[in-house]
């Protein structure tokens, strides 16, 4: 399954959702002996906040972590863990089920954003770069691990090795991009369009919700082509234009009966706009652009499977 309010989408056989927030590093403005600003690995100030502002920021970040976890636990308890408990804790390797691993991309997306958002919040609260990275990675890992542990107690799910691997992959990607900025040229993005089954969800049996509407979800890996080109060639490629490779599936739930069926994989190639490259340097606008850039906008695409198609408007 994936997570919720940080939310992308996912789980096996049902789940999740993911929010998108971020923060730019704060440029140091001043230092003094009384400042409680965080220090980086070289002992330099990385944050201009101090005194009551710093304390309020840290309390706020702590409340976000604790409150967010509590709210999501409550959501999962009601949505996923209200069924029949298993006789004992059990494991399950749920590769290639009817929804063709589409949920695993959601798990990866969730792990990535939990670590990314956690790092941004901690840096905003004046944690050092190293501490923010370590604690955000730990939070993302433990948050998704608790979900898998609870899954292992219910007959419908089980502790999924596959989900854990996808969770960890997303977290590792976020950490790697912080350690090696060149890797940020590749960005996981998401697009969603309600399927016919989702539109008819109230009239069909089952528990279909957007987090389970896998056929309407497309997960992309979006490449900043301009950043990947040699310096001498960058002038020939518009910096605003990206190329994205995507994975989705055909219908896995019958929109009339609600019965599940084995979907087929859809592999796609699309152009994409990099919203981070839009003009404007206001700090709030910069954060907004960054967060919006994780959504793949409707655009022309080539679909390679299950049949080749040129799509004039894919969303």
pLDDT tens across 110-125, in order? 999 999 999 999 998 8
**143 backbone φψ class: left, alpha, beta (φ>0; ψ -120 to 50):** alpha
* Average pLDDT for 255-266: 96
Structure tokens at 220: 């992309």
Answer whether 125's CB lies under 8 Å from 57's CB. Answer: yes
Confidence of residue 59 (pLDDT cuts 50, 70, 90): confident
* Average pLDDT for 216-222: 98
pTM above 0.95, yes or no: no
* Average pLDDT for 267-290: 94
Give pLDDT tens digits for 1-51: 444 334 444 444 444 343 334 443 333 343 333 333 444 444 444 577 777
Predicted local distance difference test score (pLDDT) of residue 46: 54
Confidence of residue 60 (pLDDT cuts 50, 70, 90): confident
Helix (H, G, I), strand (E, B) or coil at 285: helix
Strands 217-223 and 186-192: antiparallel
Tell me what the pLDDT averaged over the chain comes to. 85
* Average pLDDT for 235-249: 95
Predicted local distance difference test score (pLDDT) of residue 124: 86
Predicted local distance difference test score (pLDDT) of residue 70: 85
Confidence of residue 52 (pLDDT cuts 50, 70, 90): confident
Give pLDDT tens digits for 136-188: 999 999 999 999 999 999 988 999 999 999 999 999 999 999 999 999 999 99
Q: How far, in Å, CA of 228 to CA of 260, rounded? A: 41
Would the CA dihedral through 296, 297, 300, 303 be positive or negative?
positive
Structure tokens at 134: 């370590």
Answer whether 23's CB lies under 8 Å from 124's CB. Answer: yes
């Amino acid at each position: 399954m994936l997570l919720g309010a940080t939310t992308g989408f996912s789980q096996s056989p049902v789940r999740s959702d993911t929010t998108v927030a971020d923060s730019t590093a704060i440029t140091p403005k001043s230092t003094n002996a009384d400042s409680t600003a965080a220090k980086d690995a070289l002992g330099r100030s990385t944050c201009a906040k101090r005194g009551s502002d710093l304390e309020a920021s840290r309390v706020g970040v702590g409340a976000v972590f604790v409150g967010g976890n509590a709210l999501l636990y409550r959501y999962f308890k009601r949505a996923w863990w209200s069924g029949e408990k298993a006789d004992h804790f059990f494991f399950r390797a749920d590769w290639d089920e009817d929804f063709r691993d589409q949920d695993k991309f959601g798990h990866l997306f969730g792990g990535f954003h939990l670590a990314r958002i956690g790092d941004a919040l901690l840096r905003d609260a004046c944690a050092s770069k190293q501490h923010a990275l370590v604690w955000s990675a730990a939070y993302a890992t433990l948050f998704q691990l608790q979900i898998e542990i609870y899954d292992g107690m219910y007959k419908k799910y089980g502790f999924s090795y596959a989900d854990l691997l996808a969770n960890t992959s997303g977290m590792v990607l976020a950490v790697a991009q912080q350690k090696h900025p060149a890797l940020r040229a590749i960005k996981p993005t998401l697009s969603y369009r309600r399927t016919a089954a989702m539109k008819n969800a109230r009239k069909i049996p089952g528990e279909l919700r957007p987090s389970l509407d896998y056929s309407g979800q497309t997960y992309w890996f979006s490449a900043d082509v301009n950043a990947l080109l040699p310096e001498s060639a960058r002038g020939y490629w518009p910096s605003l234009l990206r190329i994205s490779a995507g994975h989705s599936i055909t219908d896995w739930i019958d929109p009339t009966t609600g019965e599940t069926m084995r979907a087929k994989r859809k592999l796609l190639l699309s152009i994409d706009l990099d919203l981070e490259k839009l003009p404007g340097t206001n700090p709030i606008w910069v954060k907004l652009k960054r967060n919006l850039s994780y959504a793949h906008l409707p655009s022309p695409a080539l679909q390679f499977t299950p049949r080749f198609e040129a799509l004039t408007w894919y969303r």
